[in-house]
């Protein structure tokens, strides 16, 4: 029997017991013939307030046209919230960012389920929007496709290419008196030329590339810049793809599998993607009911070399990737080298291997962005899972090897993200320091803030390769340098990071994968005996609820599990 394409929406459109719903559908413009058509929810995180999201409502209109034109479906656009990390102004705003991922997931789950849509297309653009949308798709289990809003083009000032991180680093240069007032202003005015997500292999481009590898967006979806004509064309083609998914009844359950998660994480490692991907893929896997742990991520990191010279640690931007064949060309190379599973089904209705069959191969003589596996930037992945007496439940380090594989130094405590900015301005952060930013975890922050300002300011101050930063918070995808985040248990829960004192010796070792505090067990036990759990910073509202429900970073900071 043919698959019923409107098997959810027919509850409203066909059953005689639903006259009110049918009256409402007439009210929004339904014609008689529309009542038998499948209904597709188009979830946009579009809003005017930032470049990552400003164009998404416009793209959603193209998606709707594609859904309705020649495809006998009805597209219905709705919006969810979105938060731009770049505009959160340090910890106070940033603490809302990670929770926004779960609100987006909840919102999409709620609308699609309550309104009986037969499928969902998410049009999303910034860091948390993508994993939020994918978590919802996994929960809902109806045909689903993600459309990425696209990367931003680079900015230019005085002959140099710039991006969002340039603006943050300019602040560090200002602290170090390395930039004139005119150039400081010039960098800020010209870093970002318009719409699109932050332009390096930061969290947005990391998630977009790896979600494409996982099979939940169309091939090249992560490679077209926001202003590229191909992005518009992709939006118009989505309807055809959705129709096929409905006909074949391919849902995220078929697409998100252990193997496709491995494909996603393989692309994260190969491209040098953001540490935030660990958090988001742990959460996506849990939403899909697939066991995935930090240790599984380490296994993938061990087997996949880091091969792409992309920002933040490298030279090139995401916009440059399209010229060398985009993410599909990289996937094809990894597939040919046995690092990608080819038999995973994708939103094209075809397997990864079938999608890649006609993709041109990377030309290693002509392009210098992606290196062959025989001469990688680092022979294994840059994301390392460290354990030790400072992180008994794990931590996530980004170690590209460019700064070395080991760092040993003295702790310099910052109880709040803003303290490091003040300390930098006063010249108190010195070579050899391991700056410990704590009480920034999922509960303590709350919201596990990203150390976007501190790390960029450190870089701008010229201390990037001279100090290390460790935290129970997170790092921006734009971070480079010796950094360890996601330290578990977090300080709020009495994890050892809460017990560190100024001047304690700390070792970060990527070879032994250890984060070690050189303090005896006895001394740590005595410090723990006098430790008092801080009052939660919020007891009511969204953040109060978040503190009560969020799981640890090593469990993806999910909020929908007991």
Residue 40 contacts ligand FES per CB under 6 A: no
Least distance from ligand FES to the Cβ atom of residue 368, Å = 25
Report the 10 Å Cβ neighbour count for 404: 11
Distance CA 213, CA 207 (A): 10
Of the residues 9, 107, 476, 552, which is catalytic? 476
User: Within a 10 A sphere around the Cβ of 224, how many other Cβ atoms?
Assistant: 26
Minimum CB separation of residue 259 from ligand FES in Å reads: 28
Number of residues this chain uses to bind ligand FES (CB under 6 A)? 9
Site string for ligand FES, 14-33 (x = CB under 6 A): --------------------
| Tokens encoding 388 | 């030790």
Residue with tokens 């002509």: 366
Is cis: bond before 312, omega within 30 of 0? yes
Q: Which residue, among 253, 384, 221, 428, has the nearest Cα to 318 in the 3D structure?
A: 221
Minimum distance, C-beta of residue 151 to ligand FES, in the bound complex (Å): 9
Whether residue 127 is annotated as binding a ligand: the answer is yes
Of 208 and 218, CB closest to ligand FES: 208
- Segment near ligand FES (CB under 6 A); pick from 80-88, 286-294, 340-348, 539-547: 80-88
Q: In the complex, what is the shortest distance from the CB of residue 99 to ligand FES, in angstroms, rounded to a whole number?
A: 16
Cβ-based nearer residue to ligand FES, 204 or 283 = 204
Binds ligand FES by CB under 6 A, chosen from 75, 85, 264, 413: 85
Distance CA 415, CA 280 (A): 26
Q: Which of 5, 124, 126, 553 is the binder for ligand FES (CB under 6 A)?
A: 126
Token couple for 68: 């309705």
Asked if residue 104 binds ligand FES (CB under 6 A), the reply is: no
Q: Does 84 bind ligand FES (CB under 6 A)?
A: yes
Interface with ligand FES by CB under 6 A: which range of 84-92, 106-114, 441-449, 459-467? 84-92
Residue 301 CA to residue 277 CA, distance in Å, equals 12
Q: Does residue 167 touch ligand FES according to CB under 6 A?
A: no
> In the window 188-217, what residues touch ligand FES (CB under 6 A)?
197-198, 204
CA distance 468 to 406: 10
Categorise residue 488: left if φ over 0, alpha if ψ from -120 to 50, beta otherwise: beta
149 binds ligand FES (CB under 6 A): no
Strand 406-414 relative to strand 433-437, pairing: parallel
Near ligand FES by CB under 6 A, which window of 30-38, 81-89, 351-359, 495-503?
81-89
H or E segment at 468? strand 468-471
**Residue 52 among known ligand-binding residues:** yes
Question: Which stretches of 231-272 are assigned E, i.e. beta strand?
Answer: none
476 is catalytic: yes
Q: Give alpha helix (H) positions in 504-557.
A: 521-530, 541-549
Sort residue 336 into left (φ over 0), alpha (ψ -120 to 50) or beta. alpha
DSSP letter, residue 4: P
506 binds ligand FES (CB under 6 A): no
Q: Does 414 bind ligand FES (CB under 6 A)?
A: no
Nearest approach, Cβ of residue 199 and ligand FES (Å):
9
Please name every residue paired with 121 in a beta bridge, in sequence order, or none if there are none. 42, 145
Question: Which residue reads 């700390």 in tokens?
Answer: 506
Would you list the DSSP string of 84-103?
-GGGSTTHHHHTTHHHHHHH
Of all helices (H) and strands (E), which one includes residue 336?
helix 326-336
54 or 515: whose CB is closer to ligand FES? 54
Q: Binding residue per annotation — 106?
A: no
Q: How far is the CB of 207 from ligand FES (least distance, A)?
A: 9
Contact status: 56 vs ligand FES (CB under 6 A):
no
52 binds ligand FES (CB under 6 A): yes
What is the closest distance, in whole angstroms, from the C-beta atom of residue 192 to ligand FES in the complex?
9
Binding site listing: 52, 85, 127-128, 450
Binding site listing for [2Fe-2S] cluster: 52
- Write out the residues near ligand FES by the rule CB under 6 A: 52, 84-86, 126-127, 197-198, 204
Instruction: Give the residue numbers marked as catalytic.
Output: 476
């Amino acid at each position: 029997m043919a698959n019923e394409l409107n098997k959810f929406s027919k509850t409203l459109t066909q059953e005689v017991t639903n006259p009110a719903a049918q009256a409402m559908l007439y009210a929004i413009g339904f014609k008689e013939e529309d009542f038998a058509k499948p209904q597709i929810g188009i979830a946009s995180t579009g809003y005017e307030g930032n470049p990552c999201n400003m164009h998404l409502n416009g793209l959603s209109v193209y998606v709707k046209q594609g859904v309705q034109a020649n495809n006998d479906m009805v597209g219905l656009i709705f919006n969810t919230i979105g938060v731009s990390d770049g505009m959160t102004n340090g910890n106070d705003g940033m603490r809302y960012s990670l929770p926004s991922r779960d609100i987006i997931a909840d919102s999409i789950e709620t609308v699609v389920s309550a309104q009986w849509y037969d499928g969902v297309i998410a049009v999303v653009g910034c860091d948390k929007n993508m994993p939020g949308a994918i978590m919802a798709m996994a929960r809902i289990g109806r045909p689903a496709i993600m459309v990425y809003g696209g990367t931003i083009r680079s900015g230019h000032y005085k002959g140099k290419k710039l991006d969002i991180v340039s603006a943050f680093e300019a602040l560090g240069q200002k602290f170090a008196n390395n930039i004139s007032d005119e150039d400081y202003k010039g960098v800020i005015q010209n870093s970002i030329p318009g719409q699109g997500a932050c332009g390096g292999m930061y969290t947005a481009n990391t998630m977009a590339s790896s979600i494409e590898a996982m099979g939940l967006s169309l091939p090249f979806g992560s490679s077209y810049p926001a202003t590229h004509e191909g992005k518009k064309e992709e939006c118009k083609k989505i309807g055809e793809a959705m129709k096929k998914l409905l006909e074949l009844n391919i849902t995220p359950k078929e697409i998100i599998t252990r193997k496709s998660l491995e494909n996603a994480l393989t692309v994260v490692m190969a491209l040098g993607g953001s540490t935030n991907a660990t958090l988001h893929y742990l959460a996506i896997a849990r939403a899909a009911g697939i066991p995935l742990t930090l240790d599984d991520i380490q296994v993938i990191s061990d087997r996949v070399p880091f091969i792409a010279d992309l920002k933040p640690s490298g030279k090139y931007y995401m916009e440059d990737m399209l010229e060398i064949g985009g993410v599909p060309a990289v996937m094809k190379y990894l597939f040919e080298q046995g690092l990608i599973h080819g038999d995973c089904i994708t939103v094209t209705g075809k397997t990864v291997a079938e999608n890649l069959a006609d993709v041109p191969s990377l030309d290693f003589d002509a392009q210098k962005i992606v290196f062959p596996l025989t001469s990688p930037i680092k022979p294994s992945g840059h994301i390392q899972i460290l354990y030790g007496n400072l992180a008994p439940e794990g931590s996530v380090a980004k170690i590209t090897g460019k700064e070395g594989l080991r760092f040993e130094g003295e702790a310099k405590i910052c109880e709040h993200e803003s303290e490091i900015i003040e300390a930098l301005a006063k010249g108190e952060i010195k070579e050899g320091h391991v700056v410990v930013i704590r009480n920034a975890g999922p509960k303590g922050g709350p919201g596990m803030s990203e150390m976007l300002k501190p790390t960029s300011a450190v870089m701008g101050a010229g201390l990037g390769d001279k100090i290390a930063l460790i935290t129970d918070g997170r790092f921006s995808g734009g971070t480079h340098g010796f950094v360890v985040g996601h330290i578990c248990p977090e300080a709020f829960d009495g994890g050892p990071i809460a017990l560190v004192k100024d001047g304690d010796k700390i070792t970060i070792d990527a070879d032994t994968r250890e984060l070690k505090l050189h303090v005896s067990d006895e001394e740590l036990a005595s410090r723990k005996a006098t430790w008092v759990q801080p009052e939660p910073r919020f007891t009511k509202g969204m953040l109060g609820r978040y503190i009560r429900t969020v799981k640890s970073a090593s469990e993806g900071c999910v909020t929908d599990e007991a």
